[in-house]
Amino acid sequence: MIPRKTQEPSYWKEFQPTAADLEYLKNLLVERERPLSTDEMARALVAFRCRSEEERIARILSGGSLYLPQNSYQVGDTVFFPFLDFLSGQVIGVREGQNPQLGPFRVIQVAFPGGQVREFAAELPGHKLNEVSWEDPGPVFSPEELYDRYGQYVRQALAVRLEAEPGFVALAGHWFLKSLLVEISPGLLNVAEAVLDEAGGGPLPAEALIGYLDMPKEVHPELALFSLNYALFEDERFDEVGPAGRILWYLRRLEPAPILEPPARLQPRQVEYDHRLLDESLLNLERWLGDEWSEMVALPRDEEPVRIVLTYPHRRSGTLPLSPFVARVCPTGRTHRIRFVFRDEETGEEMPGWVVRERRFVYGLGEWYERHNLPVGAYVEIRRGPEPGVVLIRRRPTRPKREWVRAVSVEEGALRFEMGRHMISCEYEELMVIAVNDWAALDGVEERVRRERRSLADVVAEIFPELAKLSPQGTVHAATLYSAVNLVMRVPPGPILTTLVTDDRYTFVGDYYWVSRGRPGW
């Protein structure tokens, strides 16, 4: 049997595109005159590799003699060797063999490309290679079957290689040659800007813009759209905000300011700490808190809805944390900002939402938080909507009533905590709930902490006694401290927990509770 490399799993699992592959794909794009998806190109490449292999085998078989030790060869014969990957060479010499144990036989000298010369037995009937059948039954798996089995490896390797090739351009998983794109003039881009401006900034697909542009009629529609999308992508006035698989455009100057210049309160303070100082129990607490900047966030589960505890930075900014849990529900894409729609499950109201991937937050809920008067610590639930680009959101409503909860106020520039009755109409996490009496005053403390570069240890030292006085035992739960610290300093749980562990002013008393060291009775 003639072996074929394309039939071996390792051939595809270790697949790497060659220069010949790229040249074939360039010609394919020229021939089709339209962009092709990574899947289409990878599928064509598998067929090309299989076809090339069959052509190579046919060429070898037609241009020489199959080597078998029992055959006779003459100087000038071309011989190919199946066990040397069908390498062929020319016989340049024949001599008598010298091995009494084998009987009479001859030795041929074969010159291979590159100048190498090797010798092989000939006219030797007893050799085991004579028993191998080299009849060609053809390939076992067709290119289509091979692609079904190994296409994922080809797609991955091809996408990586094409990304590094300056001659190829990609949009939404489709590829074309940069040199063959339709030219989009500055005037046409100005028209596209005007259309988006009229639409309130967007989002609109290129299909909604191209009708206003004077594009050459002979150009394939898919190529015209691809060229327009690429020109918009290269122009800083336009922002691509579509979820994965869709291209949607928005005018950057009309996007909400917080997604272009995110609030400082959403960006974590860089605090050096050693995670190894936390035992598994504290690491589990950090996972449970689900902070988007944590190094120990638990892997997302499949259950929906996803429940989030609203911390102060997000309550104040009208955002949600883009933790792995939330990211699984919200639209994804390759762009930094993704536009979608929030839909209130209770009322059906729709609100524009934005995923800001590089800053790890989801924007668009400020008015919704205010309307429902959600406190810090409130539960918010989200799940995927019935159609793409929609995320369903709901609070967990309860009958409005005055609840005893901790509240924060500002006195002489410092935080003060007390227990009080506050009107609440939703479920909340008792360990993290905080009623805020004056949002603007908190902003001032937060700004001062940032401006003065106060250390985390100092902030914890100021807040801990205030929280401890709310408990008869003087205990403070680590989750409560995390919620309170984030009123004025954006810090994930890890550094806060490490501060409690390493600072000799605090003593652990079990169940994630801590007290000030030296407190009577402890």
pLDDT value for 314? 97
What backbone torsions phi and psi does residue 240 show, to the nearest 5 degrees? -85, 115
Whether residue 62 is predicted with pLDDT greater than 80 in this model: the reply is no
pLDDT value for 320? 96
Residue 290 within a domain:
no
What backbone torsions phi and psi does residue 95 show, to the nearest 5 degrees? -140, 170
Residue 485 within a domain:
yes
Q: Which CATH number belongs to the domain containing residue 89 in this structure? A: 2.30.30
pLDDT value for 65? 80
What backbone torsions phi and psi does residue 483 show, to the nearest 5 degrees? -65, -40
196 or 81: which carries more pLDDT confidence?
196
Average pLDDT, the chain: 90
Whether residue 522 is predicted with pLDDT greater than 50 in this model: the reply is no
Residues 236, 384: one domain? no
pLDDT value for 471? 93
- Angstrom distances, CA of residue 291 to CA of 14, 163, 316, 353: 38, 33, 16, 20
Reduced to 3 DSSP states, what percent helix, strand and coil does the chain have, rounded to the nearest 5? 40, 25, 40
Residues 395, 449: one domain? no
CA Rg, the chain, in Å? 35
Residues 187, 318: one domain? no
Place of tokens 């689900």: 290
pLDDT single digits (tens) 155-198: 999 999 999 999 999 888 899 999 999 999 999 999 999 999 99
Residue 272 within a domain:
no
As a whole number of angstroms, the distance between CA 319 and CA 259 comes to: 10
Mean of the pLDDT values across residues 242-251?
Answer: 87
As a whole number of angstroms, the distance between CA 226 and CA 205 comes to: 11
- The amino acid occupying position 193 is E
Percent of the chain with pLDDT over 70: 95
Whether residue 5 is predicted with pLDDT greater than 90 in this model: the reply is no
Q: Per-residue b/e over 221-253, b at no fewer than 16 CB within 10 Å?
A: eebbbbbbbbbbbeeeebbbbbbeebbbbbbbe
As a whole number of angstroms, the distance between CA 79 and CA 112 comes to: 10
As a whole number of angstroms, the distance between CA 163 and CA 159 comes to: 6
The model's confidence at residue 139, banded by pLDDT at 50, 70 and 90, is low
pLDDT value for 95? 93
| 1-10, 226-235, 248-257: range with lowest mean pLDDT | 1-10
pLDDT value for 125? 87
Question: How many distinct structural domains can be found in the chain?
Answer: 5
Residues 302, 333: one domain? yes
Mean of the pLDDT values across residues 34-45?
Answer: 95
Whether residue 138 is predicted with pLDDT greater than 90 in this model: the reply is no
Residues 126, 153: one domain? no
Distance between terminal CA atoms of the chain?
Answer: 82
Domain membership of residue 107 as a residue range: 69-131
pLDDT value for 214? 81
As a whole number of angstroms, the distance between CA 132 and CA 111 comes to: 24
Mean of the pLDDT values across residues 428-439?
Answer: 94
Residue 47 within a domain:
yes
Collapsed DSSP state (helix, strand, coil) of residue 156: helix
As a whole number of angstroms, the distance between CA 365 and CA 73 comes to: 84
Residue 270 within a domain:
no
Q: Are the C-beta atoms of 277 and 502 separated by less than 8 Å?
A: yes
Residues 229, 158: one domain? no
pLDDT value for 275? 87
Residues 339, 426: one domain? no
Residues 308, 211: one domain? no
Residues 76, 92: one domain? yes
Sign of the torsion formed by the C-alpha atoms of 209, 212, 214 and 219: positive
187 or 136: which carries more pLDDT confidence?
187
Whether residue 349 is predicted with pLDDT greater than 70 in this model: the reply is yes
Whether residue 385 is predicted with pLDDT greater than 80 in this model: the reply is yes
Q: Which residue pairs, CB below 8 angstroms and at least 24 apart, start in 298-303?
A: 298/324, 298/325, 299/324, 300/324, 300/325, 300/327, 300/328, 301/325
Domain's final residue, options 399, 423, 440: 399
Its pTM surpasses 0.85: no
Residues 15, 97: one domain? no
Q: Are the C-beta atoms of 391 and 330 separated by less than 8 Å?
A: yes
Residues 79, 187: one domain? no
- Angstrom distances, CA of residue 75 to CA of 90, 95, 96: 8, 11, 14
pLDDT value for 520? 45
Domain's final residue, options 399, 417, 442: 399
Q: Which of 329-333, 432-436, 449-453 has the highest mean pLDDT?
A: 432-436
Residues 121, 147: one domain? no
Residues 6+ apart with CB under 8 A from 499: 273, 456, 457, 460
Residue 223 within a domain:
yes
pLDDT value for 485? 97
Whether residue 137 is predicted with pLDDT greater than 70 in this model: the reply is no
Mean of the pLDDT values across residues 48-60?
Answer: 85
As a whole number of angstroms, the distance between CA 286 and CA 500 comes to: 13
As a whole number of angstroms, the distance between CA 290 and CA 300 comes to: 10
Mean of the pLDDT values across residues 476-503?
Answer: 96
Structure tokens at 106: 């001859």
Residue 56 within a domain:
yes
As a whole number of angstroms, the distance between CA 158 and CA 179 comes to: 20
Residue 175's H or E segment, with its range, is strand 174-177
pLDDT single digits (tens) 370-380: 999 999 999 99
pLDDT single digits (tens) 259-280: 999 999 999 998 888 889 999 9
Q: Which CATH number belongs to the domain containing residue 374 in this structure? A: 2.40.330.10
pLDDT single digits (tens) 496-521: 999 999 999 999 999 999 999 855 44
Domain's final residue, options 221, 255, 289: 255
Structure tokens at 15: 């697949």
pLDDT value for 521? 42
Residue 281 within a domain:
no
Residue 259's H or E segment, with its range, is helix 257-260
Mean of the pLDDT values across residues 8-26?
Answer: 94
